[in-house]
Amino acid sequence: MRLTGLVLAGGRSRRMGRDKATLVLDGERLVDRAVRRLGECCVEVLVASGDGRRLEVTVPQVADPIPDGGPLAGLAAGLAAATTPAVAVVAVDAPYADAAVLRRCAERLGTAPACLPSVDGILQPLHAVWSTSVAAEVRSALERGARSPRDLAVALGAVVLDERSWQDVASAGARFATSWNRPGDAGASVPPG
């Protein structure tokens, strides 16, 4: 299945105190790292950057349809802009995105609205594959005040990729579900300047 990659990078990073997209791991900004990882499994990559222009990146940016709408707003923007049947979503603060796990989600998507991997019983809607067929439903939920991609995925009837179904392809185990939210989180560094 042809996929569009979507980096969710529009948050205010309140808990981190700095823009998480510009944090650096191994000499690479997290936003660039996410774009590169998605490029391993997607034919195009977009960055949902909130206002659609705030980041310096090499791929197109999309603007949230509702300002400060959280990750669901970025998802709505990406689903509307994608040119493929499905979108592989990665949060910018998850530096260990796994293209193989996303490909496995795409394989299992079928006609479902989304395919979400489960890690220790917790669904991962921000490291998942969403069908563009639910773009209108995502936008409508956002306009009604919904903010949780996980709750929406469950309500829409998403397919769950259990651990047995992704463990054989995951390059670093469940590490893809790790996110950096606070200044002390492992490996987070701030570029000089």
Express each pLDDT in 101-126 by its tens digit.
999 999 999 999 999 999 999 999 99
d(CA 172, CA 48): 26
Q: What average pLDDT is seen over the chain? A: 92
To which H or E segment does residue 89 belong?
strand 86-91
Model's pTM, two decimal places? 0.93
Express each pLDDT in 123-170 by its tens digit.
999 999 999 999 999 999 999 999 999 999 999 999 999 999 999 999
Please, what are the domains in the chain? 3-175 (3.90.550.10)
DSSP 3-state percent helix, strand, coil across the chain (nearest 5): 35, 20, 45
d(CA 76, CA 168): 31
